[in-house]
C-alpha cells in the first residue's frame, strides 16, 4: 500500500482548490526483465477527493483521483489518458467546482504549472450532499502540499481551501481518544487470516481500518 493523507477540513460548496508539488522521486535501478513485470509505476502520486469513510484513493466508491501517470479513478474504475502526466518539479492543482451557477458545476479538474491538464470530470452522483475531503496517496516521492497561497498562478480567480468561508466548508473534529494499532502475528497456515476476518467482523468499520 502507498502512504496517504486526508485533510480534516472538507469542501461542501462553491469552487475551491489546493496544490501539491513533487519535490523528489525515487529512481530504482532494476533489470529490464523486472521492469517489464511491473503492473504500476514505482513512483506515483494520486491527488483527489474522498468522503470521511475512504482511506486509499481510487480503491473504493468513496474516492476519486488523478494520478501522476495521467489516469483518472472513479467508482473503482481506472480511465487511462485523461490528464497530462506530472513528475518531479511540477506543481499540480486540484480544482473542485461545486458552484451550482457554473457551467462546470459538480466537476473536478487538474491543472499543471498553472495550465489546465484535463477537461472537467464529473463527480460521482454519490458525492452529492457530502463533505468532500482533499486527499492524496503517494509512493516513493517527497511532496509539498499547500492549502494556502498559490505556488503557481492560475488563469482565473478561485479561492484556496485555506480561505474558504464557513458556509462552504466543514471541519471534522479529530478523535480525542488515542488510536490503537494492532500488528497480528501468526504462523503460516495456522488460522491467521481466519482470526483477522473474525476480528474485523466483531469491530465496526467506523472505528477499525485494515491497512493490508
What's the pLDDT score for residue 206? Answer: 67
What's the pLDDT score for residue 125? Answer: 92
> Distance between CA atoms of 64 and 66, rounded to whole angstroms?
7
What's the pLDDT score for residue 188? Answer: 87
Q: Which residues of the chain have pLDDT under 70?
A: 1-17, 27-41, 52-55, 162, 164-177, 205-206, 211-212
> Distance between CA atoms of 164 and 14, rounded to whole angstroms?
9
What's the pLDDT score for residue 40? Answer: 55
> Distance between CA atoms of 2 and 60, rounded to whole angstroms?
15
Buried-exposed string 164-174: b where 16+ CB fall within 10 A, e elsewhere: beeebbeeeee
> Distance between CA atoms of 73 and 170, rounded to whole angstroms?
25
Asked if residue 67 lies in contact with residue 59, where contact means CB atoms within 8 angstroms, the answer is no
% of the chain with per-residue pLDDT over 70: 74
What's the pLDDT score for residue 1? Answer: 45
Amino acid at each position: 500500500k502507498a502512504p496517504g493523507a486526508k485533510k480534516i477540513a472538507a469542501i461542501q460548496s462553491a469552487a475551491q482548490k489546493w496544490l501539491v508539488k513533487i519535490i523528489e522521486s525515487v529512481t530504482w535501478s532494476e533489470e529490464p526483465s523486472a521492469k517489464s513485470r511491473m503492473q504500476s509505476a514505482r513512483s506515483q502520486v494520486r491527488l483527489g477527493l474522498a468522503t470521511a469513510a475512504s482511506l486509499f484513493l481510487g480503491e473504493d466508491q468513496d474516492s476519486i483521483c488523478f494520478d501522476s501517470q495521467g489516469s483518472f479513478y472513479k467508482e473503482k474504475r481506472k480511465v487511462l489518458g485523461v490528464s497530462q502526466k506530472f513528475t518531479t518539479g511540477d506543481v499540480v492543482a486540484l480544482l473542485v467546482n461545486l458552484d451550482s451557477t457554473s457551467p462546470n458545476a459538480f466537476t473536478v479538474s487538474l491543472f499543471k504549472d498553472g495550465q489546465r491538464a484535463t477537461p472537467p470530470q464529473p463527480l460521482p452522483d454519490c458525492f452529492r450532499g457530502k463533505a468532500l475531503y482533499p486527499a492524496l496517496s503517494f509512493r516513493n516521492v517527497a511532496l509539498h502540499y499547500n492549502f494556502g497561497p498559490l505556488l503557481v498562478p492560475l488563469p482565473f480567480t478561485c479561492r484556496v481551501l485555506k480561505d474558504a468561508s464557513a458556509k462552504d466548508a466543514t471541519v471534522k473534529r479529530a478523535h480525542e481518544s488515542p488510536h490503537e494499532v494492532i500488528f497480528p502475528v501468526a504462523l503460516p497456515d495456522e488460522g491467521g487470516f481466519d482470526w483477522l476476518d473474525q476480528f474485523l467482523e466483531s469491530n465496526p468499520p467506523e472505528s477499525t481500518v485494515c491497512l493490508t
